[in-house]
Amino acid sequence: MKVLVEAFVGEKKRFTKPVLVTVNQSPVIQRFGFVTENDLSRLGIEATKLAVYLPFSYGFNGQLLVVESSSVSELDVTGTEMMKFIISGGVTDI
């Protein structure tokens, strides 16, 4: 729990790279998330994959996915703005 709280508000904030992830191609379904690791090679995972955390609305829990980098698009907003948008269920302004 301490690590999660520090990731949001500590000196070493980890949710600073907001992205849009395509999780399904047909029909197209996308989710907002944050890249948490660009290099998973120490886990034996190929270089084309990233770790992306997908927070849930109305809470601080979520899912950690390993996805192809081609399925990830960076967003031009701050991590704080995106986190507020996701946690509020999309009812706050970005």
DSSP for 13-29, written as a single string: -----EEEEEEEETTEE
- Burial label for 44, CB within 10 Å (0-12, 13-18, 19+), is exposed
Q: How far apart are CA 49 and CA 38, in angstroms?
A: 7
User: Where residue 25 sits, what CATH number does that domain have?
Assistant: 2.30.30
Give the domain extent around 69: 2-87
pLDDT band at 12 (very low <50, low <70, confident <90, very high): low
Residue 52 included in any domain? yes
- SS3 state at 82: helix
Q: Is the pLDDT of residue 9 over 70?
A: no
Q: What percent of the chain has pLDDT over 90?
A: 60
Is residue 94 situated within a structural domain? no
pLDDT score of 4:
54
> pLDDT by residue (tens digit) across 68-93?
999 999 999 988 888 888 888 999 88
Find the mean pLDDT for residues 27-35.
95
Residue 60 falls inside a structural domain: yes
Structural domains in the chain (count): 1
Is 93 part of a structural domain of the chain? Answer: no
